Amino acid sequence: MSHATTYRICPRSGLQLEAQAEKLILANAVAAVVFLLIGGILAIGVVLTRWPAVHWLEAATFYQVLTAHGLDMLIFWIIFFEIAVLYFCSSTLLRCRIATPRIAWLAFALMVVGAVVNNIAVYQGASSVMMTSYVPMMAAPSFYLGLILFAVGALIGCFVFLGTLVIARREKTYQGSVPLVTFGATTACIIAVFTIVSGAIILIPTYLQALGIVKHVDPLVYRVIWWAFGHSSQQINVAAHISIWYLVAAVVFGARPMSERVSRGAFLLYILFLQLASAHHLLADPGVSTEWKVVNTSYFMYFAVLASMIHGLTVPGAMEVAQRQKGYTKGLFEWLRKAPWGNPVFSGVFISIIGFGFLGGISGVMMGTEQLNMIIHNTIYVPGHFHATVVVGTTLSFMALTYYLIPVLFKREMIAPRLAKWQPYLFGLSMYFFCLVMMGAGTLGVSRRHWDMAFDGSALAYEWPGAAYMMMGLVGISGIAAIVGGAIYIYVTVGSLLWGKRLEGGAKSDKVTPIPPTAPAAAAQTYGSMGFVAPGTFVLAVVFLIAFVLYYFINWKYLSTLWGLS
Amino acid sequence: MSAILPPADRLWWKHPIDRVEGTWIALSFVWCMIMFFMMVLWHVYGEQNLSTETYKTTPDAFIAKTQAMVDQYTVRTETDLEVPVVAPPPGSDVYLIARLWSFWPILELEKDKTYRLHLTALDYNHGFSLQPSNINVQVVPGYEHVLTVTPNQSGEFSIVCNEYCGLGHHMMVSRLYVR
């Protein structure tokens, strides 16, 4: 077996990149950005139609655009980028050649073909079934076929990642345990395998039904299994973007994890418990028992919530410790004030952490409470929540990582650094506002996936309160601001790739330089279990907990005013 | 010794825990337990718990039961489509059909009286979103979901379909009266 490949050590980051892996990471990242661009253009149609004063698209076009927006953003943009992250976390961080590069290219090709086939099916017009494609509403067969091909490709990508871990171990490119970031990426990979298999279990019979081979896929069984795919795929995102948070803390601050045990333990909780939390999508459904709902969304979901609360503390905590060691020790927050706010790699991740916790996390737990779910099920509160988790949490973290990778991986100098500096603020903060007003409108009951809140053409139309109209108008305005922020990201990324000044890549060698063993640092023993090393972060965490508790009980109060139900 | 390098201590699970982390984990764990008990407590003491009483059904069987109720208890009709308004006696079984793209019939209930509300969808998934009360329930074809409801306010309510069901989805809205 020959491994004709070369390695270079990036002079700016010190990372060692293998030639094949580098090309694969680049290809997957570029494909991701292309789908982000398509999804972003579609977002214009969605927000300008849901903005009541504009109400731009026709109903048929709106549902078509909304279906494609969901798929391009939630599935194609994110999973392409995640495959790039998996290859980076294995090959690059472990300084190892990538396993079976040809098969990895096959995976990439399958994903591209699948994504294109699925998109074409939607644009042909007979597949406006939304991302969830609940049976018995049927899309064109090629809609499901595209998703299946894409999923097979992604699954192969996961195995390439796992194979790369094996090679690194066997060829001894590192010693001891894998780095925390690789550990987190492994979590994401394991969840991805579970997710994709669940998707196959339900989408294959649905595809056969669309072809007329299978007669009947039960609508409730579909919902139960589809959500094992639909929700778990968001857990891949969580594991991936939290790995990126740790990565950015490491590269920007040189921060090390406060405690390897705590951070890795929290990742393990994700593997064990996150998928079961998909039950919270079925809280308003008939046919599944109360006990099943409560057990899955409490015991199991709360262990995953616990893990997220831990990461939410340990990532900024690690930053704080690193900053304090640099001498920013005044008061509780000097470490934060003196953080590199002008560096989009840091600001993107920090805005992501805060938004993911305060907006996405708290709303997610509220929604996932068995009884409270009744006041938001299928309202626009739900997209409000998941834009906070997936857009502020995942997408913004991916954007921040891209800014780091432009010089390292693209070997280009970033164009328009000033625009890039402001981009996380424009995108992140307008998304914060967008999510808040969506949740506000959802609290008033406004439906999601609904073309016309005025119910044009119905004799029994319901008149939503004025506040609901106002908030949907604000959804339109903040949505457009966020789209501008997204456009700047694409301009900076694609522009740097095409026109950025070429940078020195570092000398090529056909020998791998293994990671030198880390000396058992005294530091590992010198902090931990003896001090209170990150008081500022702890105060922020307590503020978070207070907001969480208040918001949780406010919703119980709201619930208690409803009709009696039993 | 950073998150992108292998940990210095080979046995990472022996890495000590700082007090900041330990305290936070304890606090978070207690909070998760409180949230768990809240759900259980509400089943014991709360008055808003979604029933999961469910039967398999077919469109024909459900339409027959609904038609029987309409025949017996219709008090008037509304709109050009002459949708019947049905006032069944308190305590009885009441039926509501969700289909493309309407709810049928219109129910008229009494305040503080309890009814067994049967829901199903004849074709696709639909949503039962009672406004402005804001009670939202999924309506799944093939399944008859029985909720026990006790309206606590009188007035005119709307039922909005909030599960996407095709091109006429935005026209799928109906009324419910509470006397």
Q: Which distant-in-sequence residues (6+ apart) come within 8 Å of A189 by Cβ?
A: A86, A158, A161, A162
- Whether A371 and B149 lie within 8 Å, measured CB to CB: no
Nearest CA in chain A to B141: A219
pLDDT of residue A528: 47
Distance, in Å, from the CA atom of A353 to the CA atom of B167, rounded to the nearest integer, reads: 38
Find the largest Cα–Cα distance for chain B. Answer: 79
Q: Which helix (H) or strand (E) covers residue B33, if one does?
A: helix B19-45
Nearest to B136 among A303, A379, A534 (CB): A379
Choose between B13 and A172: higher pLDDT.
A172
Share of chain B above pLDDT 70, in %: 99
pLDDT of residue A37: 98
Distance, in Å, from the CA atom of B6 to the CA atom of B37, rounded to the nearest integer, reads: 40
Is the pLDDT at B1 greater than 70? The verdict is no
Partners of residue A305 in chain B, C-beta under 8 Å: 28, 32
- Whether A465 and B124 lie within 8 Å, measured CB to CB: no
CA distance B129 to chain A (A): 8
Partners of residue B41 in chain A, C-beta under 8 Å: none
Query: What are the angstrom distances between the C-alpha of A434 and each of A385, A429, A476, A547, B82?
Result: 10, 9, 8, 19, 41
Per DSSP (E only), the strands in B48-101 are: 53-56, 74-78, 83-86, 93-99
pTM for the whole thing?
Answer: 0.95
Distance, in Å, from the CA atom of A203 to the CA atom of A159, rounded to the nearest integer, reads: 21
Is the pLDDT at B106 greater than 50? The verdict is yes
CA distance A267 to chain B (A): 13
Question: Would you tell me which residues 139-178 of chain B have a C-beta closer than 8 angstroms to some C-beta of chain A?
Answer: 140-145, 147-153, 158, 160-167, 169-175
A549 by Cβ neighbours in 10 Å (0-12 / 13-18 / 19+) ranks as middle
**Cα-Cα-Cα-Cα dihedral sign, residues A376, A378, A379, A380:** positive
Cβ atoms within 10 Å, residue B24: 24
DSSP codes joined into one string, A369-384: STTGGGGTTTBTHHHH
Partners of residue B135 in chain A, C-beta under 8 Å: 374-375, 562-563, 565
DSSP codes joined into one string, A177-210: SPPHHHHHHHHHHHHHHHHHHHHHHHHHHHHHHH
Are A322 and A312 a contacting pair, CB within 8 Å?
no
Please report, to the nearest 10 degrees, the dihedral formed by the alpha carbons of residues A231, A490, A37, A451 taken in order. 70
pLDDT less than 70: residues of chain A:
1-3, 299, 519-530
For chain A, what percentages of helix, strand and coil (3-state, to nearest 5) are there? 70, 0, 30
Choose between B7 and A123: higher pLDDT.
A123
Does the domain made of A12-253 have the CATH classification 3.40.640.10? no
- Whether B50 and A287 lie within 8 Å, measured CB to CB: no
Partners of residue B16 in chain A, C-beta under 8 Å: 259, 261, 524-525, 528-530
Distance, in Å, from the CA atom of A78 to the CA atom of A73, rounded to the nearest integer, reads: 6
pLDDT of residue B14: 78
Is the pLDDT at B17 greater than 90? The verdict is no
CA distance B72 to chain A (A): 24
Nearest to B48 among A181, A297, A371 (CB): A371
- Whether B32 and A545 lie within 8 Å, measured CB to CB: no
**Cα-Cα-Cα-Cα dihedral sign, residues A394, A395, A396, A402:** positive
- Whether B3 and A444 lie within 8 Å, measured CB to CB: no
Q: Where are the domains of chain B?
A: 16-45, 53-178
**DSSP-assigned beta bridge partners for residue A26:** none
pLDDT of residue A521: 52
Does the domain made of B53-178 have the CATH classification 3.40.50.720? no
**Rounded to an integer, what is the distance from CA A154 to the centroid of its chain?**
16
Distance, in Å, from the CA atom of B144 to the CA atom of B62, rounded to the nearest integer, reads: 8
- Whether A374 and B136 lie within 8 Å, measured CB to CB: yes
**Mutation to test the A interface, candidates B10, B30, B43, B48, most A Cβ within 10 Å:** B48
Partners of residue B149 in chain A, C-beta under 8 Å: 563-565
pLDDT of residue A517: 77
Distance, in Å, from the CA atom of A126 to the CA atom of A124, rounded to the nearest integer, reads: 6
- Whether A545 and B28 lie within 8 Å, measured CB to CB: yes
Nearest to B136 among A178, A263, A284 (CB): A284
Of A143, A124, A139, A128, give the one whose Cα is nearest residue A451: A128
Alpha helices in A71-179 (DSSP H): 78-87, 101-124, 141-170
Are A533 and A321 a contacting pair, CB within 8 Å?
yes
Partners of residue A261 in chain B, C-beta under 8 Å: 12-17
Partners of residue B38 in chain A, C-beta under 8 Å: 369, 556
pLDDT of residue A351: 98
Nearest CA in chain A to B150: A564
Determine the 3-state secondary structure of B77 from DSSP.
strand
**Mutation to test the A interface, candidates B23, B109, B138, most A Cβ within 10 Å:** B138
- ipTM above threshold 0.90: yes
Are A266 and A312 a contacting pair, CB within 8 Å?
no
**DSSP-assigned beta bridge partners for residue B99:** B102
Q: Which distant-in-sequence residues (6+ apart) come within 8 Å of A85 by Cβ?
A: A185, A188, A240, A243, A244, A398, A401
Of B171, B170, B135, B42, give the one whose Cα is nearest residue A378: B135
Q: Which distant-in-sequence residues (6+ apart) come within 8 Å of B147 by Cβ?
A: A565, B50, B51, B53, B116, B117, B119, B137
Q: Which residue has the tokens 């599944």?
A: A288
**Mutation to test the B interface, candidates A90, A256, A260, most B Cβ within 10 Å:** A260
- Whether B20 and A461 lie within 8 Å, measured CB to CB: no
Determine the 3-state secondary structure of B75 from DSSP.
strand
Q: Which residue has the tokens 């991701």?
A: A32
What the block records as the tokens of B147 is: 């909720």
Of A185, A37, A159, give the one whose Cα is nearest residue A106: A159
Partners of residue B119 in chain A, C-beta under 8 Å: 286
- Whether A378 and B25 lie within 8 Å, measured CB to CB: no
pLDDT digits (tens, 9 = 90+) for A150-208: 999 999 999 999 999 999 999 999 988 999 999 999 999 999 999 999 998 999 999 99
For chain B, what percentages of helix, strand and coil (3-state, to nearest 5) are there? 25, 35, 35
- Whether B147 and A565 lie within 8 Å, measured CB to CB: yes
Are B139 and B128 a contacting pair, CB within 8 Å?
yes
- Whether A462 and B80 lie within 8 Å, measured CB to CB: no
Question: Would you tell me which residues 103-122 of chain B have a C-beta closer than 8 angstroms to some C-beta of chain A?
Answer: 114, 119
pLDDT of residue A299: 66
Distance, in Å, from the CA atom of B145 to the CA atom of B120, rounded to the nearest integer, reads: 7
Alpha helices in A444-465 (DSSP H): none
Between A and B, how many residue pairs show a Cβ–Cβ distance under 8 A? Answer: 347
**β-pair type (A16-18, B173-178):** unpaired
Q: Where are the domains of chain A?
A: 12-253, 371-513
pLDDT of residue A279: 86
